[in-house]
Structures are given as C-alpha cells and as structure tokens.
Structure 1
Amino acid sequence: MTEAREVTGMVLLAAPVGDFDKRLVLLTREYGKITVFARGARKPNSAFLAVANPFVFGTFFIYEGRTSYQLKSARIKNYFTELTKKQPGVYYGFYFLELASYYYREYMDATEMLNLLYVTLRALTVGKMDNRLIRCVFELRAVLLNGECPDFFSCQECCNSEQLFWFYPAKSGVVCESCHKKTKGYAIKMDASVLYTVQYIVTSKLQKLYTFTVTEEVLETLCKMMKEYMKGQVDREFKSLEVLRVMEW
C-alpha cells in the first residue's frame, strides 16, 4: 500500500458500488475533482458510514491503488446534517454540488470553489436568506470563478458606465439606455437596485456574500436574468433542478 495522501475537500457525489462499497466524487483543494472508493462504507458498522455522503466537508486521507484512489480515513469539519432535513433547501444544495462538479476537473485549483460551496451551504442551513437569492448569488459567483461572468459595469456597445438598465444574456453584459434602442437581441430590463445588487455580488468579499436581502421585485428580475444567462453557459440538465421545478410548481 502506498503512503496516504491528505486532501481537504467536499463530497459532491456518493454512489453505491457492489454490495457494500461507495464511489465518492470529491472536490479537493490539492487535486481538483477526483474519484475515491470507500470500501465497506454501506456496512452498518463502517467507519465511513457518515463520511461517505454528499455535503460532507473535511480532511480525507486517501491512497492510490492500482486503478483508483481509496479512502483510508477522514477527519470531518462539517457534515451539514441540518441541510439534509430542509425541503426544498437540500435540493438547492444538490444543485450547487452538481454545478461545481460540472465546472471542475482533476488537477484544477478548486480552493475558491470549495470556499464558495462552504459558505453557500451554511447560508442554506441557517435559512435567513431566500433560497432563490442564494441560488442567484452562487450561480453568479460560480461563473465568475470560471471566467465567464457578465460585465455589469460598462455598456457592451459604447463602454458607457451610465444608465446601464438592460441585460443582454447573449452579450454577457449590460447595455445602456441609449444603445438599447439600436441593439438587437433579447434583453431584460433592470432598475438601479438590480444593477447595484449584481455589482455587489460579483465584487463583495466571501464573508459578506450572504448578508443582504432584496425586494421581491428585484429577486424576480435576478432570477430571470440568471435563468436566461445559465441557459447559454451550461449544456446539460441537472437532476436537482428537475426536482426543484416539481417541488416549487
């Protein structure tokens, strides 16, 4: 057996394998997204029984087998067990895990995404912020980390920084009132409150990210903007979103 490696990360996915094992997908700071097998994790007396589940965050000790990583032990910081009891909050959580998994591959630096996931799941658990707003914040910061964040600070046509009241998903940014009159394509009208909110989301520090509220009108516009924008960024359907659509119908 090779020497165990220490990685810090979160379980994105846990799937049964064989009679007693589990296949884990971990997002780690050291190696990006990796697959780890937890032998015997489904046995009632297994030391991995609570460890080998989605949302679990901590330090994992793994060793490299002939064809895959194997879990040796773990030191857990947060199981996020409170989140698993929240409906529909837990499915927002699953969506965030799926989106992180979509964006990351092995050997990618996942430090910032792990930090974002952690504070986001904490926000879902606390429950003081509307789940829809948490989703908008997470999506916007996720695309920011992926280098695809829309430009909310200057007009995509004339570079003007005033009267930025129209969001064009296809242009990945905003257009001023003057240019909107001669710009083709689908656009969503924003007011000053919506513009300030998205600018705050993309520039605020992580610890301040989930400490604000907005009106229902602003939230509805944000949800519409992110829904249309994410259509052009993600080329797959997430199972968690399908469940959320049914639950919130």
Structure 2
Amino acid sequence: MGQTIVLTGMVLSAVPVGEYDKRITLLTRERGKISAFARGARRPNSQMMAASNPFSFGQFEAYEGRSSYTVLKADISNYFRELTVDLDSAYYGFYFMEIADYYGRENADEIHMLKLLYQSLRALENAHLNNRLVRRIFELKAMVINGEYPNVFSCLKCGKNENLTHFHVKSGGTLCSSCAKGVPSFYIDESTLYTMQYIITSSIEKLYTFAVSEEVLEKLEKIMNEYMKNYIDRKFHSLQVLEENEGFAAGILTEKDGR
C-alpha cells in the first residue's frame, strides 16, 4: 500500500515523458537518490513546471508506490536562478549534479552529499569565488564523503607524516622525499598539500572560505584530474562541455594577448 511522504531534496535531472509529464531524479535527505514522475509538469501554468527543473531545491510531496514515486506538489526554497543566466557557472553546476548522481544510491544516507551540492551551487553564484577552485573543492570533498579520497597525511610506504613531497596516483596518496626516489609521481608543494588536507578535514560549511594562488590551483587541478581518472569509471557529459568551453575561452584570450 502506497503512502504520501515529504522529501527534502534537489532535482538533479529531468527528462520528458509522454506529452505533458517529466521523470526527474531527486537527491533527497530521507531516501537518497530516487526517480519520480512529475505528472503534468510540462503543461502551461503547471505548478510543477519550474519545480521539476534541475537545481530546484526544496520540499517535495510524493506518493510512494510499490515500484516508483510520483511527485504531487513542491515547495521550492531555491531555484538557483543565477546559474541559469551565467553559462559558465551553469556548466559547473550540471557537472556537480552528475557527480552527485554518480555517487547517489536509493535509501542511502545522502545528507552530506546533498549539503555539499547545495553549498557548492551557492559558491558558484558568488562572483568573488573562482569557479575552477570551487570545482576542485567539490570533487575532492565528494570523494571524501564516499570514502575514495587520497591519503595526504602520511607517507604511503613508511608512514611518516613529514617531508611529504610527492603524490602517487595509483597508490592513492603521498610519499615522503626518501620513499619517492625512483617512483613515478607528482611533486606536491607544501601549499598544495595543505590545501588538500584542509578540504578533506574541514566541515562543508567552511569549504568555500579561502583562495589559493594560480600556481597552487594548477597543481591541484593536475592532481585531481589524474586521481579522478584513475578512480571514477564514468565520463561526464557536462564535464566535456565545460572543458570544451574553457578551452574555447582560453583560445580567445590567447588571441587577444597576441595582438
């Protein structure tokens, strides 16, 4: 026998179904990641039209059937509308939601991932924050939440927590200067190491409260690119679009600088 429940969550994605309906994916506090039908969501003047769009965060009243959910109504507290008018930030936002979808599981505890997603989208709306840094913070913290983060607090070989100068991707962490000899690895400076340690250990509320130099950001980007490539077995469509867009923008800047 089905029942009506109230779920707090965010719409990760939505696809049309039939002539007027949508099938949405929700990341919720109470039931983890679920799929649900939003009946009549594509009808003009439907209350569910805006509420069933990606980025919509709030409370969703849903009927829980034997094999599916149906959203009956929604009370949205944040649509993140600023992301929809900033194409660059929107690309990042869709990428974050793809990662949340990748890790999300039904009936699993997704409270921390939901909180991270919400705070990260808010960070994208902050013009004073670098979206490239927001992305790397989100990626690393998402892996922390799901238990796949690297050990950057001690040497993987000898266990010492001093002179951690290299990062070994396949082993998943740092090596001290002695153990790194002859081992193919990335050099990691003290500032980049501290940045990763801070992201891993800080609460979600304190994540987006710092800035780093361009040099540190580039090193962090290099490490995270290789680490995620090794530990995540999915290609994210939004990431491909994002990187193509960043490459296009970089090309324009290069042309301007050359004039």
Scaled by the length of structure 2, the TM-score of the pair is 0.93
SS where residue 148 of structure 2 aligns? Answer: coil
Aligned counterparts, 1:41-190, within 5 A: 41-65=41-65, 67-182=67-182, 184-185=183-184, 187-190=185-188
Q: Distance in 1 between matches of 2:67 and 2:211?
A: 48
Q: Distance in 2 between matches of 1:165 and 1:203?
A: 20
Q: Larger deviation: 58-67 or 162-171?
A: 58-67
- Flag structure 1 segments of 5+ consecutive residues without an equivalent: none
Equivalent AA in structure 2 for residue 29 of structure 1: R
Q: Distance in 2 between matches of 1:137 and 1:224?
A: 13
Identify the residue that residue 206 of structure 1 maps to in structure 2.
204
Equivalent AA in structure 1 for residue 120 of structure 2: T
Q: Contact conserved, 2:120 with 2:134, CA < 8 A, in 1?
A: yes
Identify the residue that residue 19 of structure 2 maps to in structure 1.
19
CA positional deviation for 1:66: 5.3
Identify the residue that residue 30 of structure 1 maps to in structure 2.
30
Equivalent AA in structure 1 for residue 192 of structure 2: V
Equivalent AA in structure 1 for residue 199 of structure 2: I
Cα root mean square deviation, aligned? 1.2
SS where residue 51 of structure 2 aligns? Answer: coil
Scaled by the length of structure 1, the TM-score of the pair is 0.96
Q: Is 1:231 paired with 2:225?
A: no
Q: Larger deviation: 214-223 or 173-182?
A: 173-182
Q: Distance in 2 between matches of 1:110 and 1:66?
A: 22
Residue by residue, what CA displacement relative to the aligned partner does 1:179-218 show, whole Å, maximum 9, x if unpaired? 1014x34x11111111111111111122210011000000
Equivalent AA in structure 1 for residue 154 of structure 2: S
SS where residue 3 of structure 2 aligns? Answer: coil
Equivalent AA in structure 2 for residue 131 of structure 1: N
Aligned residues: 247
Identify the residue that residue 240 of structure 1 maps to in structure 2.
238
The structure that is helix-richer by fraction is 2
Q: Distance in 1 between matches of 2:215 and 2:64?
A: 52
CA positional deviation for 1:140: 0.5
